[in-house]
């Protein structure tokens, strides 16, 4: 909880003010029974009307002060807790954004969403309660007990003996609560994950008529959330009756013993009334305990989950290197690179070595699962090579700061991802200050400009969530244009032209060939590979052939087979 609540540090002064007013409210509240006792003993029983009026005015004044202090305390508690949760959410979001892909993959997206929403709300509530009642309730219990002892130690004895039992009981309940509520948050994660997955796959679910099946899976998860939540609340529900029972027993002892004392002259009626009043206040404070424990237990579970993300170990990024040093030379060199995904034991790349000069175009081919995407991921350092070295712009990739490195690289992933917003917003996403001409220029090269201008709203056409209102080929070409807007010196295309027709693809390659960028292009098509300077053929993570089309036809039986099979499908002659 320490790391999470360190985000409240900037609000130390405001927290101080809130606590000061809470203490004022508490002090005033503790004085009230004393004044009531005075009204009874010195006013009513002594028959002194002036004393009744005088203490009555003091009582009203004290109530007014308690009221004012309570409002000011609430104001600051709300202000601090909202600002704290805003800062924490921002920090957590920033941390997630800064994660390497390896670290990002450790947390399911749904778990991160739960942390950013409900977990932060939980700790925000506990901070608010902390400033409002969390300290006030125990202080009220302790203060009431001290005051009761001051008023009449004999009468207060029964309150004192019940106290340690209640404390032990509370301690046990807190521990149980923390465990149960961490289960609840985990169940919530699972539910969120399921909702997210289902909503994304809604077309597939309809096409496969799996609606009922998915609904029953959903209700299974929802039921387990309900069961665990009920369990956690059951623990919490026991707290209040047990506390009230203990306090009522103590109160009974005070009244029984107090009546005897008054008869024997050992206590005054006002004193008994004051102690009963303190006991009632203690009971009231104890009744707040069940809420406090519940909030504490939930927030402990939640803050643990938030800290898991905040303190997660990640790829150590180099200190920022000056932009002037980030020379965009464009060489890409792999030297004996092997790679194993974190948490697995199988090498998906084995001893891969090749060199690319600036502006060279490399086609990467290979069967599905042969390691093509994995190889590309090492260039912008989504992952680090397990063995060997990747050199970019003539320097070990680990010696670049991630920012300097990624600024020079354009990535077009296998699955085109667009964001909700206009086409212009999407194109300028990687370069915010890009001019409209730059966007249109990139769109022309990516063969999407003509399509965009035919839309009634042109570049202002809104793209739906994940680009639902665009075809697969349109999305691919927009993704390529988005990468081109950044004018990268290294361009990575991971099978990003698969949805294009032959004519459009040929026109696109003509443009890309002229582009001043080193290009690594994953493709399954010989037609595309022919446009590259060299071809790299991967087989189960190893380079099985490397060279020009002609060299590969000579040296690689596998390449020859691929070329032959594609030639049979098409009219071109590759072999
Ligand atoms: N995040 C991951 N964690 C563990 N293993 C992975 C991960 N991603 C891919 N792999 C494994 O690495 C191997 C290579 O996958 P990769 O995606 O690089 O292949 P590919 O050649 O690009 O395939 P495709 O043509 O189907 O995209 C596969 O066996 C795959 O199961």
CA-nearest of 272, 240, 237 to 258 is 272
- Sheet hosting strand 395-396, strand order edge to edge: 347-356, 332-340, 387-392, 395-396
- Predicted confidence band of residue 324 (pLDDT cuts 50, 70, 90): very low
User: Judging by DSSP bridges, how do beta strands 361-366 and 518-522 pair with one another?
Assistant: parallel
Please give the residue that has the higher pLDDT: either 467 or 209. 209
Q: Are strands 361-366 and 534-539 parallel, antiparallel or unpaired?
A: parallel
Encoded tokens for 78: 């709300």
In this prediction the ipTM stands at 0.96
Residue 121 Cα to chain centre, angstroms: 12
Question: Which of 109, 340, 342, 373 for mutating ligand 1's site (highest number of atoms within 8 Å of CB)?
Answer: 373
Tokens 């009874």 identify what position? 40
pLDDT band (50, 70, 90) for residue 574:
low
- The answer to whether residue 381 scores a pLDDT higher than 60 is yes
Please state, for a pLDDT cut of 70, what percent of the chain lies above it: 95
Tell me how far CA of residue 310 lies from CA of 1, 88, 333, in angstroms.
11, 10, 34
Q: Is the pLDDT of residue 572 over 60?
A: no
Q: Whose CA is closest to atom 3 on ligand 1?
A: 341
Q: Which among 339, 365, 371 is the best mutation to test ligand 1's pocket, defined by most ligand atoms within 8 Å of the CB?
A: 371
Q: Is 185 in the pocket of ligand 1 (CB under 6 A)?
A: no
- Minimum mean pLDDT range among 193-207, 320-334, 500-514: 320-334
**How much of the chain exceeds pLDDT 90, in percent?**
36
Encode pLDDT of 2-54 as tens digits.
889 899 999 999 999 999 999 999 899 888 888 988 898 888 888 888 989 99
pLDDT at residue 327, rounded to an integer: 62
The answer on pLDDT for 346 being more than 90 is yes
Q: Which atom of ligand 1 has the smallest separation from the CA of 370?
A: 21
* pLDDT beyond 60 at 345: yes
> Alpha-carbon distance 385 to 389, whole Å?
7
Among protein residues, the one whose CA lies closest to atom 26 of ligand 1: 368
- Residue ranges of domains in the chain, CATH in brackets: 2-180+236-310 (1.20.1560.10), 323-408+488-575 (3.40.50.300), 416-486 (3.40.50.300)
Q: What is the mean pLDDT of residues 517-530?
A: 89
- The pTM for the full model equals 0.69
Is 355's pLDDT higher than 90?
yes
| Cα of 457 from ligand 1 centre, angstroms | 39
Whether 191 and 221 have beta carbons less than 8 Å apart is answered as yes
Count of C-beta atoms within a 10 Å radius of residue 125 = 16
Instruction: Answer yes or no: is pLDDT of 284 > 80.
Output: yes
| Secondary structure E strands in 63-219 | none
Taking CA atoms only, the protein residue closest to ligand 1 atom 16 is: 371
Task: Average the pLDDT over 132-148 and give the result.
Answer: 86
- The answer to whether 80 touches 132, Cβ cutoff 8 Å, is no
| In the predicted structure, residue 570 carries a pLDDT above the cut 60 | no
Q: Is the CB of 368 under 6 A from ligand 1?
A: yes
Q: Determine if ligand 1 sits within 6 Å of the CB of residue 341.
A: yes
With cut-offs at 50, 70 and 90, classify the pLDDT of residue 315.
low
pLDDT at 123: 92
Bridge partners, 333 (sequence order): 355, 391
Query: For the segment 88-126, what is each residue's pLDDT rounded down to a tens digit?
Result: 999 999 999 888 887 888 888 878 888 999 899 989 998
- Pocket test residue of 345, 372, 540 for ligand 1, highest count of atoms within 8 A of CB: 372
- Retrieve residue 470's tokens: 């665009």
Contact 45, 270 (CB under 8 A): yes
Q: With cut-offs at 50, 70 and 90, classify the pLDDT of residue 261.
A: confident
214 CB burial (10 A radius; 0-12, 13-18, 19+):
middle
Mean pLDDT taken over the chain: 87
At residue 568, the pLDDT reads 61
Any ligand 1 atom below 6 A from CB of 433:
no
């Amino acid at each position: 909880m320490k790391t999470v609540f360190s985000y409240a540090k900037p609000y130390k002064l405001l927290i101080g003010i809130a606590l000061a007013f809470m203490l004022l409210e508490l002090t005033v509240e503790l004085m009230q029974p004393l004044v009531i006792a005075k009204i009874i003993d010195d006013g009513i029983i002594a028959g002194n009307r002036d004393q009744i009026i005088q203490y009555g005015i003091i009582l009203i004044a004290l109530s007014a002060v308690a009221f004012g202090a309570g409002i000011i305390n609430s104001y600051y508690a709300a202000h601090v807790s909202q600002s704290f949760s805003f800062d924490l959410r921002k920090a957590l979001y920033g941390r997630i954004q800064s994660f390497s892909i390896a670290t990002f993959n450790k947390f399911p997206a749904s778990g991160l969403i739960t942390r950013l929403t409900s977990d932060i709300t939980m700790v925000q509530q506990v901070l608010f309660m902390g400033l409002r009642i969390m300290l006030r309730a125990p202080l009220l219990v302790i203060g009431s007990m001290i005051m009761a002892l001051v008023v009449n130690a004999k009468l207060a004895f029964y309150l004192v003996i019940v106290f340690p039992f209640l404390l032990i009981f509370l301690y046990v309940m807190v521990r149980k609560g923390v465990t149960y509520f961490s289960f609840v948050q985990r169940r919530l994660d699972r539910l969120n994950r399921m909702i997210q997955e289902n909503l994304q796959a809604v077309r597939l679910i309809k096409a496969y008529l799996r609606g009922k099946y998915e609904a029953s899976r959903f209700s299974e998860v929802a039921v387990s959330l309900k069961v665990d939540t009920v369990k956690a609340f059951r623990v919490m529900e026991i707290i209040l009756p047990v506390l009230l029972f203990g306090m009522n027993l103590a109160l009974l002892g005070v009244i029984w013993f107090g009546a005897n004392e008054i008869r024997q002259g050992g206590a005054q009626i006002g004193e008994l009334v004051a102690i009963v009043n303190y006991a009632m206040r203690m009971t009231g404070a104890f009744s707040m305990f069940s809420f406090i424990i519940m909030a504490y237990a939930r927030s402990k579970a939640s803050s643990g989950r938030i800290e898991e993300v905040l303190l997660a170990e990640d790829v150590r990024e180099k200190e920022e290197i000056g932009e002037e040093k980030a020379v965009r030379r464009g060489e890409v060199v792999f030297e004996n690179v092997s790679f194993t995904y974190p948490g697995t034991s199988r090498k998906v790349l084995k001893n891969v070595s090749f060199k690319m000069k600036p502006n060279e175009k490399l086609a990467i081919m290979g069967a599905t699962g042969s390691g093509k995407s994995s190889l590309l991921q090492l260039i912008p350092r989504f992952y680090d090579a397990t063995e060997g070295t990747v050199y970019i712009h003539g320097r070990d990739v680990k010696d670049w700061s991630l920012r300097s490195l990624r600024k020079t690289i354009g990535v077009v992933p296998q699955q085109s991802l667009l964001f909700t917003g206009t086409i212009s917003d999407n194109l300028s996403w990687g370069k915010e200050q890009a001019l409209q001409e730059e966007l249109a220029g990139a769109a022309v090269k990516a063969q999407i400009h003509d399509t965009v201008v035919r839309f009634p709203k042109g570049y202002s056409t809104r793209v739906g969530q994940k680009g639902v209102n665009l075809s697969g080929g349109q999305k691919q070409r927009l993704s390529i244009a988005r990468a081109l807007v950044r004018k990268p010196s290294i361009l990575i295309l991971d099978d990003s032209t698969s949805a294009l027709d032959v004519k459009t693809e040929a026109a696109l390659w003509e443009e890309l060939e002229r582009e001043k960028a080193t290009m690594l292009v994953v493709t399954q098509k010989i037609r595309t590979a022919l446009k590259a300077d060299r071809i790299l053929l991967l087989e189960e993570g190893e380079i099985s052939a490397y060279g020009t089309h002609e060299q590969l036809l000579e040296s690689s039986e596998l390449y020859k087979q691929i070329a032959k099979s594609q030639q049979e499908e098409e009219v071109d002659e590759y072999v």
